[in-house]
Structure 1
Amino acid sequence: MLNSLRLSYNDISVKVKADIYNALPNKPYCSNSKRYTIIRSKYYAQDKPYIQINNPNLKRYLIVDIDESDAYSTLLDSRLPQPTYISINRVNGHLQCAWKLRDAVSTSYNSRVSPMKFLAAIDAAYNYRLNGDTSFGDCLAKNPLHEHWYNEYYDTEYTLHELADYVDLSEKDASNIAANDDVSGLGRNNTVFDIARKKAYEMVRKAVSKPLFQSWQSDILASCESLNKQFSIPMQHNEVKNIARSIARYTFKMWAQFVHNMDNFRAVQAVRGAIGGKRGSNKALSGAKGGAKSKRRGSIKKECLLSKVLAMKSQYYNHRAIAEDLNISASTVSLWLKAARS
């Protein structure tokens, strides 16, 4: 790819760093160490060794954290595609590598679930292949724009399907982990997101009136934190806050629409129930009338045909010939003759 573009490494590094900077959140989390975080504009945050790479509701980079002294060798031996960038700790050799997604995956409240689950499965598979740090959730990552780390840049980007081609998502260690629980960072994110948003719907249905936003967000956060505690490796608090904020904002914004839809649904169901009841009674009445008419028509038809059946039988016609001539079944002829003899 580098040769086809005919770019020097310096040109590539400038391009990749520009892409990374442009994709940063406007006000990312950042820090001089892992022990605390602050929020600053990305212009100031880019000078911090640690920074939030992905937007809270948009995944542009798939990041894996490898906490091994020979992490670079692990990456080289992994048979995975070339990362977009690699940030290496100059002291202990630990690194983080990231693959840029050609189409960013939205993780907001009203996003499609299938791309998020697909990305979570890939994330789990890559972490398994690289023996990545499963507690890493990419909320605070090594800053690839900072000279504190030894950084390598490559002009690469991939679709989800291209990334998936390098791993087997059907393996137990990949797909099951990603689908269920707490080994994959994105898997934990999706699990909390899915369960908490459904609980938010129930909370809207049960609410007597619309609360204040801060109170509503606190309730959603409490629900998310309760779910997060169930993981053997919980997510960082900032990640849980981002999930809760996303759910709270959307449900609060759409509160009136939710209530309106639920009221309409109840009204429609009530009307349908009433109509269904009337139809049921009408059908029962119609069925009774129809049954009586059918019995009358059947008895008249039998009286007309029985004499013909008896006459033809006396002339030694067999049952099949009688049935074909009178356009009735042979079994009916047999039953009528048996009844006439008894």
Structure 2
Amino acid sequence: MAYPDLACQVQPGTTIDLFQQRLPRKPYHTDDLGEGLRIRDVQKALAARYIQPNGPTHRYWLVYDVDRSGAVIDWNDRGAPPPTITAQNPENGHAHLIYGLEVSVRTAPDGKPGPLRYAAAVDCSLRSILDADQGYAGLICKNPLHSHWRVTEWEPRLYELGDLDSWLDLSAYGDRRKRLPDYGLGRNCNLFERLRHWAYRAIRQGWPDYERWHEAVLTRTRAYNDFETPLPDSEVRATAKSVARYTHRNFSAASFSAWQSAQGRKGGMAKGAAYGEKRAQALSLLDSGASQREVAERLGVTPRTIRNWKSGK
């Protein structure tokens, strides 16, 4: 059963206390996974055995589902960093290993893609070294505030991504041209990359009003959420809303026209510089004794152009 008064059971300043403080305002929760999820105010949700640890736009906790009887201790044998908290099922020893981050990872697409990819690489690598369930979606976890689970606090300090990186080998995820594995934060990263490239082009097709644009982005986001273990619809809707708002606010017919003009000026400047360099090369070749026809063939221009350059035109 749940604690009768959770506030009296949690010691201030502990990682368990921080876990409670960081919960979403209205988290998903349930006592039985077979009965589906409910969403209620956090004070009521605290009494559930399972609870949503992260909101749809920020990741404060990296959670791994380890279905082994020695789950709460064999991370040490595998050379993995100590988890912040473990919540273990006393009946079979299976556990959720929870790693707390000092600074949350922004998972919404208006965050910077570089930090998200780095966090996703850390997440995928840590999941691999722990041999955790790759199909675990991470939407809800065993609630460490509930007395049903055997809970242990291992590492009192929160992690920076660089701290976790020092325990891991991220070389397999270094090529930014390659997709990350489609699990954990890798799904968030891959969904973001696909969606933003589509949105930057698609919004130019008629510059729709926001409601129509948001509907189109949401439809596309759900189509791209075709992973073997899809992201929860709450994250999909949050991602779609963020992309739709960002692109609709920052992309317009006027701004696109201005960007095209700027690109044209850059191109013109580049062409002008190339033209001047080729002309100087032609005059140098002529001075060295090459014929006008030879210079024209070498530089890929017409003999008339060489004659104009020689005469100063």
Match of 1:265 in 2: 259
Is 1:153 matched with 2:159? no
Match of 2:241 in 1: 245
Match of 2:29 in 1: 30
* Alignment partners' CA distance in 1, 2:232 and 2:312: 75
Distance change (3 Å), C-alpha of 1:94 and 1:217 = farther
TM-score after normalising by structure 2: 0.75
Distance change (3 Å), C-alpha of 1:246 and 1:49 = farther
Amino acid at match of 1:235: L
* Alignment partners' CA distance in 1, 2:181 and 2:274: 51
Distance change (3 Å), C-alpha of 1:50 and 1:176 = farther
Contact 1:63/1:98 (8 A) holds in 2: yes
Aligned length: 278
Is 1:222 matched with 2:219? yes
* Alignment partners' CA distance in 2, 1:274 and 1:75: 59
Shift of 1:149: 1.6
Say which structure is richer in helix.
1
Amino acid at match of 1:263: S
Percent identity over the alignment?
A: 26
Is 1:209 matched with 2:203? no
Match of 1:316 in 2: none
Contact 1:125/1:175 (8 A) holds in 2: no
Q: What do residues 198-252 of structure 1 show as CA deviations (whole Å, max 9, x unaligned)?
A: 212222111343142xx433322221222222x3333333333332233233334
Q: Specify every segment of 5 or more residues in structure 2 that has no aligned partner in the other structure, as ranges.
A: 1-8, 280-301
* Alignment partners' CA distance in 2, 1:13 and 1:153: 14
Distance change (3 Å), C-alpha of 1:240 and 1:179 = farther
Equivalent residues in 2 for 1:110-129, closer than 5 Å: 110-129=110-129
Aligned CA-pair RMSD: 3.6
Amino acid at match of 1:222: T
Distance change (3 Å), C-alpha of 1:209 and 1:233 = closer
Amino acid at match of 1:17: I
Contact 2:88/2:150 (8 A) holds in 1: yes
Shift of 1:191: 0.1
Shift of 1:74: 2.8
Distance change (3 Å), C-alpha of 1:211 and 1:101 = closer
Secondary structure of 2:231's counterpart equals coil
* Alignment partners' CA distance in 2, 1:193 and 1:277: 35
Shift of 1:270: 6.3
Q: Specify every segment of 5 or more residues in structure 1 that has no aligned partner in the other structure, as ranges.
A: 1-9, 295-342
Distance change (3 Å), C-alpha of 1:241 and 1:140 = farther
Is 1:180 matched with 2:179? yes
Greater C-alpha radius of gyration: 1
* Alignment partners' CA distance in 2, 1:134 and 1:86: 18
Contact 1:101/1:159 (8 A) holds in 2: yes
Match of 1:56 in 2: 56
Shift of 1:278: 11
Contact 2:183/2:229 (8 A) holds in 1: no
Amino acid at match of 2:33: K
Distance change (3 Å), C-alpha of 1:293 and 1:148 = closer
* Alignment partners' CA distance in 1, 2:95 and 2:312: 86
* Alignment partners' CA distance in 2, 1:126 and 1:81: 9
Amino acid at match of 1:135: G
Distance change (3 Å), C-alpha of 1:186 and 1:130 = same
Match of 2:299 in 1: none
Equivalent residues in 2 for 1:1-342, closer than 5 Å: 15-35=14-34, 36-154=36-154, 155-170=156-171, 172=172, 180-212=179-211, 215-229=212-226, 231-252=227-248, 254=249, 257-268=251-262, 291-292=310-311
Match of 1:335 in 2: none
Shift of 1:168: 1.5
* Alignment partners' CA distance in 2, 1:178 and 1:26: 37
